[in-house]
Amino acid sequence: MSGMASVNNGKMGGRPIYDMQEKFEIPDIQFVILTPNQYSSLLEKYGYDILQKAICILDNWLKSSPKAERYRGKNNYGHFRADGWVINSALTKHLKY
């Protein structure tokens, strides 16, 4: 097995390739890309309200920040870590209301 093949299929430390046809369509969201399985697992983990706020926060960041340019067009599942800034921002906004 060559190193390139292992990176392409996600084995041996490579990132898995997500098919763009598997993209879960979220209304009014342009830049956040998740698969249906990823969306459903996040929904179970955080609940609808917090997940929607987190998705909006991430989408606004991807739109406006020059630093976010390298994350546009890629799968964004990694941004939804429980200790990450996206979820912490959504939880903070959720507690204010």
Report yes or no on 23 lying in a domain: yes
Report yes or no on 12 lying in a domain: no
Report yes or no on 10 lying in a domain: no
Report yes or no on 58 lying in a domain: yes
Radius of gyration for the chain, computed over Cα atoms and rounded to the nearest angstrom? 15
Distance of CA 54 to the CA centre of its chain: 9
Per-residue pLDDT, averaged over 63-89, amounts to 93
Position 83: which residue type?
Answer: D
pLDDT digits (tens, 9 = 90+) for 3-31: 454 455 555 556 555 555 578 888 889 99
The residue range of the domain holding 31 is 18-96
pLDDT digits (tens, 9 = 90+) for 35-72: 999 999 999 999 999 999 999 999 999 999 999 999 99
Total tally of structural domains belonging to the chain: 1
Other Cβ atoms within 10 Å of 55 Cβ, number = 23
Burial 17-35 (b: 16+ CB within 10 A, else e): ebeeeeeeebeebebbbbb
Task: Give residues with Cβ within 8 angstroms of 94, minimum separation 6.
Answer: 49, 50, 53
